[in-house]
């Protein structure tokens, strides 16, 4: 498989399940992508991901870990560690996979570049890019944000305590006028909002709990919690291990 990146080739091997790159099928179907730092991945990412894959009838929803995020400081855990945790989190979960292509590009992880690449590989696919409302509220700071709408549809996921900004509310209204309200196959530029089970969990809070030696139970999958413990992740600030 082109671009396959397997953790089996890194020192951070946790199992032998290789990381899927979004190339399986879906040539003209719906491809779901959920970007983030996943530093670490938690149930606030995973439960919505499962619900979105079902709600949008996706064969697969790809979690897309940033390598060099551009809207924030450097990650706390390395890309290999974050992908290893994602693998542990989604093991044996139908419909979820990891697209590690940003890890293969040693440059800032612009969503525009990623979606352009995927669009090139699957010209006939309907691309759905998922993001939390907190991220969408700042969407005007994204590189080539208008051009992204010519490549993909956006699905904005409600998140506890997150609210629209002036910009995001206006953009949603504008796109409803111009592109419609419902994502239809073969089109892009639609922005839909989707309600998912609300879980007030954030990676920031998890890292804070680790620093204070507090329990992580029921915030993220147990194998991820064990991995964090075994590798002493998030103990030091900006360790990038």
Q: Which is nearer to ligand ATP, 39 or 102 (CB)?
A: 39
CA pair distance 76, 107, nearest whole angstrom: 17
159 contacts ligand ATP (rule: CB under 6 A): yes
111 contacts ligand ATP (rule: CB under 6 A): no
Q: Which is nearer to ligand ATP, 36 or 221 (CB)?
A: 36
Q: Which is nearer to ligand ATP, 45 or 122 (CB)?
A: 45
134 contacts ligand ATP (rule: CB under 6 A): yes
CA pair distance 8, 20, nearest whole angstrom: 13
Q: Which is nearer to ligand ATP, 50 or 199 (CB)?
A: 199
CA pair distance 26, 24, nearest whole angstrom: 6
CA pair distance 203, 59, nearest whole angstrom: 27
Q: At its nearest, how many Å lie between ligand ATP and the CB of residue 4?
A: 23
Residue 141, Cβ neighbours under 10 Å: how many? 11
Among 131, 155, 216, 219, binds ligand ATP (CB under 6 A): 131
Among 33, 44, 172, 225, binds ligand ATP (CB under 6 A): 44
202 contacts ligand ATP (rule: CB under 6 A): yes
Neighbouring-strand partners of residue 34: 63, 130
CA pair distance 154, 148, nearest whole angstrom: 9
Chain position whose Cβ is nearest to ligand ATP? 132
Q: From the CA atom positions of the chain, what is the Rg in Å?
A: 17
The closest alpha carbon to 24, from 34, 15, 32, 16, belongs to 32
156 contacts ligand ATP (rule: CB under 6 A): no
Give the distance, in angstroms, between the CA of residue 107 and the centroid of all CA atoms in the same chain. 18
Q: Which residues of this protein are in contact with ligand ATP, per CB under 6 A?
A: 36-39, 44-45, 48, 131-132, 134-135, 157, 159, 199, 201-204
């Amino acid at each position: 498989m082109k671009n396959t990146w397997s953790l089996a080739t890194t020192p951070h091997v946790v199992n032998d399940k290789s990381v899927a790159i979004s190339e399986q099928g879906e040539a003209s179907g719906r491809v779901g992508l959920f970007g983030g730092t996943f530093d670490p991945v938690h149930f606030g990412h995973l439960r919505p991901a499962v619900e979105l894959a079902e709600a949008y009838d996706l064969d697969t929803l790809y979690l897309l870990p940033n390598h060099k995020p551009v809207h924030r400081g450097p990650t706390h855990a390395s890309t290999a560690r974050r992908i290893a945790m994602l693998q542990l989190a989604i093991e044996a979960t139908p419909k979820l996979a990891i697209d590690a292509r940003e890890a293969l590009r040693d440059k800032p992880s612009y969503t525009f570049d990623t979606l352009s690449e995927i669009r090139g590989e699957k010209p006939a696919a309907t691309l759905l890019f998922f993001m939390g409302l907190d991220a969408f509220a700042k969407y005007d700071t994204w590189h080539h944000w208008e051009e992204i709408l010519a490549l993909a549809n956006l699905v904005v996921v409600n998140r506890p305590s997150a609210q629209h900004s002036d910009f995001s509310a206006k953009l949603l209204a504008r796109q409803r006028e111009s592109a419609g309200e419902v994502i239809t196959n073969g089109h892009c530029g639609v922005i839909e909002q989707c309600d998912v089970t609300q879980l007030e969990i954030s990676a920031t809070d998890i890292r804070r709990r680790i620093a204070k030696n507090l329990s992580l139970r029921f915030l993220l999958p147990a194998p991820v919690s064990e991995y964090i413990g075994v590798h002493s992740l998030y103990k030091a600030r900006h360790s990038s291990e």
